[in-house]
Structure 1
Amino acid sequence: MRFQVIERAADSAQRPLTPGQVDAIVRRAFGERTRVASAVELGDGTYNTTFRIVLETGEELILRAAPEPARQFRSERGFLRNEHAAAPYFAPIAALLPRTLAVDFTHDLLGRDYVIQTVVPGVPAPEGLAGYERSDWGSFFRGLGQISRKIHSVRGPGFGPVAGPLAATWSEALGTQLDLIAQDLDDLRLDAADVRALAATARRRRDLLDRITEPRLLHGDLWTINVMIEPNAPEPTVSGVFDCDRTWWGDPESDWAIYRALGKPGDVRNAFWDGYGALVQDQAARWRRLFYEARNLATIRLERHRLGQRAGVAASYEEITAVARRLKELEPPA
């Protein structure tokens, strides 16, 4: 077996696998006679340990192993189980998603959850977009908008992670998530006061947040890093979507794709709105979007810490402070 791993820090959540473990996983999933020709770890993801596997038959597979439970943040536990639970709800874009071939949550072989999936066809979007003039990227972002709209068309039974626990109201789901993030920051001995203030705001202004009464499906992490594009197409065209482990039920305007599309108005990202449609622009909706921005920055702080980005962690405090100031200025009367 040709075997290649990425060297990581000893305290990284993305722990390596051994050739023996990969071999055992594949034989458990596909039979004792199955043989692995190569297993190469992929480096684009920041949470799961991911391998591209080629069998001796030539078939290619993706193996994704979650961090060990003890290395998972409270606010990020069970992500692969959440993705597995969410899969049926992604029916509107099923043709773009990988097919899951094997699932093992028993922890017999690894002490970790893992899944084996088909390879999504195409070229990673960050790499593929570089082959086009930036002025031609509009078709790609328009496609992201259309895909996001299809995902957001799916209705759910409650608010929160698809695998649960679900909340009866949107404010409760947001408050609970922010509480968990604050506890994660406590565990890391990082200041969590601003995140606790956001949790308190979610409960204090439930009158604004709970105007969202119908839970909709949110991908949670849809942007260029989790998208493939068709190779050699006349214009950049989405051919695949993956990494749906952060899927939630909630307000579509809180989804990661909306946050990213709003991040740089005036450039080619504006094509996203041609595909998605216009957002509501009343004061309450604009206030909610600011609140979602602060909530996303709180999750980003944890990811920056996990990746060892100390300067980014420090910058997140200034970023949330700036958004909190704008929230206060825009907040409608109670």
Structure 2
Amino acid sequence: MEFQQLERTPGSFQQSVSAEQVQTMCRRAFGPDRQIVSAVELDGGMYNNTYRVEFAGERPAILRVAPEPSRQSRIERELMRNEHAVQPFLAPIASLLPQILAVDFTHQVIGRDWMILSLLPGVPAPEGFESWPRSEWGPFFAQLGAITRQVHDVSGPHFGPITGPGFRRWSDAVVAVLQDTAADLEDAGLDARDVREAVTIAEKNRPLLDEVTGPRLLTGDLFTINCLVREGDGPLTITGVIDFDRASWGPPEADWTIFMASRRTSPERDMFWTTYGPLSTDPAAVQRRLIYRVVHLGAIRLERQRTGRVDALAESYEEMSEVLASLR
């Protein structure tokens, strides 16, 4: 078997698996007769280790391996199990999702969760954008808005992650994730006083947060980087969407997709809202969205620390300071 892995420093968060481990996982999933031709580790992801696996006489597949449990933070614990659990609720966009071919949470083969998925057609959207002028990007964002709306129209049983813990009140879910984020940042040796202040603000705004009722399905991490687009001529078309490991139940305006779609404006990006629909301009909704920004900024800070982008940490503190000033 040809085997290629990315070069990583010994202390990096993502730890590659060996060629022997890849073979063992694939044989456990498909039996001893499946011949593996090659396994190539893919760049771009920042949490799981991902490999494109080629088989003799069979379709290629994607192997994803989660971090060891001891390396997972509070707000990123057992994300692969969360992604597995959300699949039935993603039925409205099933045609755009990879099929799960095998999944193993036993830790008998390797002390990490792993799953194998079908390979979707297309290339990552940021790569695909290079083939089209910016003026042609509008249809992509319109499709993304429609896909997001389909997900957000799915109702759920509780607030919080798909696999739990589940909360009856939205304010409990928000306070819990902010508390966990602060603890994770402190464990990483970062200053989390601003996130601790956000916890206090969320506590004071519980009545405002609890105006939200009826949890909806949130994508958790859907934006350009997790969309695949068609190669070749024709309009910029989404062929697949991936990585729903951070999916949860909550109000649509708290979703990462809405956070990202709102961060910048341009004629092309604004096509998102033509299919998704406009955000509420009610003062209470605007105030809640500020709290949601704090949640996302805390997660961004932790990710930058985890992936070694310490030079970008200052930006999260500056933006957090601006949001907290508005909330005060």
TM-score, length-scaled by structure 1: 0.96
RMSD: 1.0
* One-letter identity of the residue aligned with 1:7: E
What secondary structure sits across from 1:321 in the alignment? helix
Give unpaired runs (5+ residues) of structure 2.
none
In structure 2, the partner of 1:325 is: 325
Tell me the distance in 1 between the aligned counterparts of 2:182 and 2:242. Answer: 28
Pair 1:292 & 2:292 matched: yes
What secondary structure sits across from 2:131 in the alignment? coil
Matches within 5 A, 1:117-136: 117-136=117-136
Tell me the distance in 1 between the aligned counterparts of 2:9 and 2:180. Answer: 25
In structure 2, the partner of 1:228 is: 228
What secondary structure sits across from 1:43 in the alignment? coil
Q: More deviation in 83-92 or 2-11? A: 2-11
| Superposed displacement of residue 11, structure 1 | 1.7
In structure 1, the partner of 2:93 is: 93
* One-letter identity of the residue aligned with 2:304: R
In structure 2, the partner of 1:6 is: 6
Tell me the distance in 2 between the aligned counterparts of 1:242 and 1:59. Answer: 18
Tell me the distance in 2 between the aligned counterparts of 1:3 and 1:267. Answer: 44
Q: More deviation in 174-183 or 149-158? A: 174-183
User: Do 1:13 and 1:68's aligned partners in 2 also have CA atoms closer than 8 Å?
Assistant: no
Matches within 5 A, 1:264-303: 264-303=264-303
In structure 2, the partner of 1:170 is: 170
User: Do 2:177 and 2:295's aligned partners in 1 also have CA atoms closer than 8 Å?
Assistant: no
Matches within 5 A, 1:178-189: 178-189=178-189
Tell me the distance in 2 between the aligned counterparts of 1:36 and 1:73. Answer: 33
What secondary structure sits across from 1:53 in the alignment? strand
Identity in percent: 48
Tell me the distance in 1 between the aligned counterparts of 2:267 and 2:13. Answer: 35
| Superposed displacement of residue 219, structure 1 | 0.6
- List per-residue Cα deviations over 1:244-294 (Å, max 9, x = no partner): 000010010011111111111233110000110111101111111111111
Tell me the distance in 2 between the aligned counterparts of 1:50 and 1:191. Answer: 31
What secondary structure sits across from 1:40 in the alignment? strand
Matches within 5 A, 1:144-159: 144-159=144-159
What secondary structure sits across from 1:11 in the alignment? coil
In structure 1, the partner of 2:141 is: 141
Tell me the distance in 1 between the aligned counterparts of 2:203 and 2:8. Answer: 40
In structure 2, the partner of 1:109 is: 109
In structure 1, the partner of 2:202 is: 202
User: Do 1:23 and 1:35's aligned partners in 2 also have CA atoms closer than 8 Å?
Assistant: no
Tell me the distance in 2 between the aligned counterparts of 1:167 and 1:182. Answer: 19
Q: 1:324 to 1:29 in 2, by over 3 A?
A: same
- List per-residue Cα deviations over 1:54-81 (Å, max 9, x = no partner): 0122420000000001111111000000
Pair 1:259 & 2:259 matched: yes
Q: More deviation in 288-297 or 245-254? A: 288-297
In structure 2, the partner of 1:219 is: 219
| Superposed displacement of residue 233, structure 1 | 4.4
Q: More deviation in 16-25 or 232-241? A: 232-241
Tell me the distance in 2 between the aligned counterparts of 1:311 and 1:267. Answer: 31
